Amino acid sequence: MQQKDYASQIHRCFRCGYCKFPTDYSSFNCPSYRRFRFDSYSTGGRLWLIYAWLKGEIEWSEHFAEILYTCTTCKNCTEQCPMKFAPDIVDWIVGARSDMVEKGKIPPRVARFFEAVYGYGNPFKQLRSDRAAWANGTKKYAPGDEYLLYVGCLGSYDENGQKMARSLVDILNASGVSFGILGEEEECCGNEIYMLGETGLFQNLVEKNSQKFKELGVRKIVTLSPHAYNTMKNNYPAFGGSFELCHYTQLLNDLIEKNKIKLSQAHVEVKLTYHDSCFLGRYNNIYDEPRQILQSIPGIKLVEMERNRRDAFCCGGGSGNFVTDLLAGSADSPARVRAREAYETGADTLAVACPSCLTMLTDAVKAEDLDDKLAVKDISQILKELLSAK
């Protein structure tokens, strides 16, 4: 982890501004800069302000904390920065956030996020006993099951995430996959906690989850959320986590290739565009599997948004912003910008593969008054509908 070293490196940013763009420079691709437009909200602005704070040239303020926490850690800057330190930028921001957390100087909304996870094991302050309320009898994981389905907080408590989880469970059952869930024993994965800089709580969550996986003899985990996939793949191993991991789109794509998912032959005519989740795409290079699933469905025409794959524009939900909502309240909010971009493709459906993206973009489509023109669906929901038609 580079975040401990951030203080000795962060002055290296030249504020050249490449971080604001996608590869073709066609528009601004940094969500918080696109939203607020002051240079202080760009990656360069943020790094210069953090350095100023470290040097004592500016004092901590709520405004400074807000600037720091409006970064969604989408990693566009990492993709575009021309400097050798580019891979470390997000770690630097997380490092600065960790220092702020240690000093107790964080935005109130972020503090409430932490309090909720401390107290309830999820950021929504929902009861632990309700964590499996969505599950409708879904079997709990038992030794011998091939997969543990890790549902996560959004899949467990958020209305859109729950629909997504139910769809996935139905598909896995219909495909004969041996799996189970943890139900009320599941802990928050900690991805957002990590990105928000609460390293102590993050470690605690990792240890609890890892212990549970070990006790149950879990060897393979499939995650509903790209956020959980990311932290389990890239952070858990440092704490001893040892298991095979896949995101559900990887598993479903594999099942389709092996002809284990039987789709309805009823002809569907859908023009669809796909939104890359940052934690699948830029973080973990998973761009093809979700598209392969969609392209395997007869009658679906997949059209790309102008910004796609490594240039995809973040929905604004990362780093806990799906709860803290620090980028909301404007037509320039990232999710609304992205909803308009999806609509401009002429698609009637916006497909996602992430519960955070699903809820952010569903709300954005409503805010843009496009909800009767553009349906937002997770890939599992799209597949489930085709199963249902059988």
Partner 1 sequence: MMTTSALYDSLVKIVGENFVSDQKEERYFYARDGGLMPPHEPDFVVMPKTAEEVQDIVKLANREKVPVVPKGSGLALTGLVIPQRGGIVLDMKRMDRILEVNEKARYVVVEAGVTHGVLKSYLQKHHPNLRHSIPDAPPIATVVANAVIHGQGRLSQQHGFNSDMVSGLEVVLPTGELCRIGSCSVSSYWFSKGPPLPDLSGLFLGWFGTTGIITRLGLKLYPCKKMRDIMLFLADKAELVPDIMLRLSHTEIVEDVVVSAQPLPLRFRGTFWIMAYITGDSDEELEFKRKMVWDALWEYFENRDVGFLSTSPDMKAPLLSMPSKDTARFADVSKGGGFQYAGPIAPIEKFPAFIKKLEEVATKYNVFYASTARLIGAGHCMMFSFSFSFNRADTDEMARAKEALDECSKFALEEGGVLWKADIYEQKLLMDKMDPNTLVLMKKIKQLLDPNGIMNPGNWEVK
Q: Provide the binding-site residues for partner 1, judged by CB under 8 A.
A: 8-9, 11-18, 20-21, 24-27, 36-40, 45, 48-49, 51-52, 57-59, 61, 63-64, 67, 82-85, 330
Helices 62-69, 89-102: axis angle to 10 degrees equals 140
Q: Where are the alpha helices (DSSP H) in 70-130?
A: 76-80, 89-102, 108-120
Three-state DSSP class for residue 214 = helix
Q: Which of residues 41 and 179 has its CB atom nearest to partner 1 in the complex?
A: 41
The Cβ of residue 23 has, within 10 Å, a number of other Cβ atoms equal to: 14
Q: Which of residues 51 and 150 has its CB atom nearest to partner 1 in the complex?
A: 51
Q: Which of residues 200 and 346 has its CB atom nearest to partner 1 in the complex?
A: 346
CB of 12 to partner 1, least distance (A): 4
CB of 100 to partner 1, least distance (A): 14
Reading across the β-sheet that carries 375-378, which strands appear in turn? 300-303, 270-274, 349-352, 375-378
DSSP structure class, residue 86:
G
Alpha carbon distance 98, 127 (integer Å): 27
b/e burial code for range 102-136 (CB count within 10 A of at least 16 → b): eeeebbeebbebbebbeebbbbbebebeebbebbe
Cα end-to-end distance, the chain, whole Å:
49
Q: Which of residues 64 and 213 has its CB atom nearest to partner 1 in the complex?
A: 64
Q: Which of residues 36 and 134 has its CB atom nearest to partner 1 in the complex?
A: 36
Nearest to 364 by CA among 33, 28, 21, 35: 35
CB of 250 to partner 1, least distance (A): 32
Q: Which of residues 297 and 335 has its CB atom nearest to partner 1 in the complex?
A: 335
CB of 58 to partner 1, least distance (A): 5
CB of 72 to partner 1, least distance (A): 19
CB of 84 to partner 1, least distance (A): 6
